[in-house]
Structure 1
Amino acid sequence: MKKTIYIITLLLGGVISQTTNAQVRVGININAQPLWGPVGHDYVEYYYLPDIDAFYNVPNRQYIYMQNGRSVFSRRLPSKYQNFDLYSGYKVVVNEPKPYRNYGLYRKKYNKYKNNHSQGIIRNSHDPKYYVNKNHPEHNKFKKNHNTKGKHKNK
């Protein structure tokens, strides 16, 4: 009986540990999100861009788009979209593995957001949580606050 309880305890401990590790890995990646990303998300794996039917992988900083029936992974958009304004185009946050394997679903579901320019973006946000992004216009405020924490003035 004691062995059974011990084994169950070990198994549960392992499951809890794996769950905790998975949560920590997801965490926050505000500082990795591009300035053209939409506000309101502490963690983003992919954006779907309905205007150009492409994905952007935030951690890898690369676009994924279809070309000749195949997914292309690139740091740049194809030449036909080089002038696309990422700051004004709509972005759908997608936090699931390899969403580019299901283009049809995203195309159908988010087609209604084409030419929608109403989304707030990180670059224009005055929420201090976005100042951690080194490219944010207010990043100096983050650095100033971050550098003065824990420092005390002598009287």
Structure 2
Amino acid sequence: MRTLKLLVAAIVLLTATTTTQAQVSVNVNIGTPPAWGPAGYSNIDYYYLPDIQSYYDIRLSQFIYFGNGKWIRSRNLPKQYRNYDLYNGYKVVLHDYHGKSPYVYYQTHKTKYYKGYKGKPQKTIGYKTNDKRDYKHNPGKHKSNRGNGKGNGNGKH
């Protein structure tokens, strides 16, 4: 009888543990697109920025650019592009690449998406501080969705 009670207790405990473990989930918010990113895309890891021939890694919030003979990852753009307006510059959404080195296709991207390239019109996810679009109709929207307000390539969002 004692063995039966122990067996039932073990089954109940095992079932409770399994149920508890099945309910545990991890929700990590890695890869939030920047406010200056184009709206309407999901499951995207990179943008290519044709005007400055650089990439932006959404998952790591880093720019990737070529300098000093190698590809550099940084939260900031290089000095020569610090005043580049990320809100108004065109972003090519790389739908089909999810690796760690988008620059392996740099020659293709550089040729296909040349400096000054403009594809379909883009809306950004957020607004610049001085952007008055829709302000009369939706003033509260600008407080929470405006990014850092500078659009100067500092990579903060």
Compute the TM-score of the two structures, normalised by the length of structure 2.
0.56
1:34-78, CA deviations, whole angstroms, 9 ceiling, x for partnerless residues? 010011202220000000000000010000000133100111000
Q: Distance in 1 between matches of 2:73 and 2:115?
A: 25
Q: Distance in 2 between matches of 1:93 and 1:115?
A: 12
Contact 1:88–1:119 (Cα < 8 Å) also in 2:
no
In the alignment, structure 1 segments of 5+ residues that lack a partner are 1-28, 127-133, 138-155
Correspondence for 1:107: 110
**Which of the residues 121, 144, 151 maps onto 2:124?**
121
Count of aligned pairs between the two proteins: 102
Q: Distance in 1 between matches of 2:94 and 2:82?
A: 23
| Residue 86 of structure 1 pairs with residue 86 of structure 2 | yes
Change (3 A) 1:55 1:31: closer
Change (3 A) 1:42 1:117: closer
Change (3 A) 1:41 1:69: same
Q: Aligned-pair distance for 1:114?
A: 3.2
Contact 1:50–1:111 (Cα < 8 Å) also in 2:
yes
Q: Secondary structure at the match of 1:86?
A: coil
Compute the TM-score of the two structures, normalised by the length of structure 1.
0.57
In the alignment, structure 2 segments of 5+ residues that lack a partner are 1-28, 128-132, 135-142, 147-157
Identity of aligned residues (%): 42
Deviates more, 1:50-59 or 1:94-103: 94-103
Q: Distance in 2 between matches of 1:91 and 1:67?
A: 20
| Residue 46 of structure 1 pairs with residue 46 of structure 2 | yes
Following TM superposition, the consecutive aligned residue runs of length 4 or more in structure 1 with deviations greater than 6 angstroms are none
| 2:111 alignment partner AA | K
Q: Which has the higher helix share?
A: 1
Alignment root-mean-square deviation, CA: 3.0
Correspondence for 1:64: 64
By relative contact order (CA 8 Å, sep 6+), the higher-ranking structure is 2
| 2:110 alignment partner AA | R
